[in-house]
Amino acid sequence: MLQEEILQAETSDPPSQLRSKRGRFTSNKRKRPRSATPLPASEAPVAESSEPEQQGPAYGPPTKHKVQAHRNFARISNVIINDITQHKHAGPFQKPVREKDAEGYTDIIKRPQDLKSIKAAITFGSRAINAATTSSTVDSPAIGTPSTSSSLVLLDKTADLIPPRAIVNSSQLEKEVMRMFANAVMFNPGEEGMVKDAREMADDIEAKVRDWRQVEGAAAVGRQEEDEEGQAVGGDKKRRKV
């Protein structure tokens, strides 16, 4: 009898465990209830919220509300302006299109542009730059601090520093010139005559503007290096005097 009881005890499952269908053991013991005592704030679990996390306001890049202007843009842009006005197809683009010469023009073209208006915008922009650089809103695009020696400056974006009222950098000039050609293609029907001349002139001017901007960029880098070198030499002289 004793041997049979020992054998039966060894072959049966432990009283505290039950065999599952997959052969794994699962405990049948009751879990102790969690203590009602609140945990310290440092150990308390953080509840996950189903609501999306509220993020702070998204701010754009520092130059989103700034305009990069060139102090001497009216002078350095003379080269490309002369090339544009002297082009063989530049005649129709010299002055604004009059409604009596092109009926319905203002109904189709919402932003007219011509060479006379572009020149006036460059002149106006030069005056606006001079007026703006006297205030404390001038920043150097390289280091983001006030500067009075750099030829390139960052100014607060206003209507007096952007087209169509003003043109203060080469990027604005290129866009307005291309707008002038796009207006001509949009208004005139067909692929010949004015449309063909406008596209041919646009290709020629685009290549010249690209070359001009490369030269302008190299010159700006050279002037910036000269300014930095001059400031460094000036600082050494001041230290030597002290």
Q: Which domains does the chain have, with CATH numbers?
A: 66-136+151-225 (1.20.920.10)
What would the pLDDT profile of 161-176 be if each residue is shown by its tens digit?
Answer: 999 999 999 999 999 9
Confidence of residue 236 (pLDDT cuts 50, 70, 90): low
Q: Is the pLDDT of residue 13 over 60?
A: no
**What is the distance between the alpha carbons of residues 190 and 175, in angstroms, rounded to a whole number?**
24
Q: Is the pLDDT of residue 9 over 60?
A: no
* DSSP characters over the chain: -HHHHHHHHHHSPPTTEEE-TTS-EEE-SPPPPPP-SPPPTTTSPPPPPSSPPPPPPP---TTTTEEEEETTHHHHTHHHHHHHHTSTT-GGGSSPPPTTTSTTHHHH-SS---HHHHHHHHHHHHHHHHHHTTSTT-B-TTTSS--SS-SEEEEE--GGGSTTT---SHHHHHHHHHHHHHHHHHHS-SSSTHHHHHHHHHHHHHHHHHHHHHHHHHHHHHHHHHHHHHHHHHHHHHHHH-
Residue type, 183: N
pLDDT in tens, 124-174: 999 999 998 886 455 555 434 334 457 889 999 999 999 999 999 999 999
User: Is residue 49 predicted with pLDDT exceeding 70?
Assistant: no
Distance CA 165, CA 160 (A): 6
Q: Give me the pLDDT at residue 153, please.
A: 92
Per-residue confidence at 193, pLDDT binned at 50, 70, 90?
A: very high
Is the pLDDT assigned to residue 231 strictly greater than 70? Answer: no
Select the more confidently predicted residue: 227 or 61: 227
Choose between 26 and 108: higher pLDDT: 108
> pLDDT tens digits for 67-82?
999 999 999 999 999 9
Q: Is the pLDDT of residue 28 over 60?
A: no
Predicted confidence at residue 107, as pLDDT, reads: 95
Cβ atoms of residues 84 and 177 within 8 Å = yes
| In the chain, % of residues over pLDDT 70 | 57
The answer, yes or no, to whether the previous bond of 45 is cis (omega within 30 of 0) is no
Predicted pLDDT of residue 215: 79
| pLDDT at site 199 | 97
**Summary mean pLDDT of the chain:** 75
Q: State the pLDDT at residue 135.
A: 66
- By the 8 A CB rule, do 149 and 223 touch? no
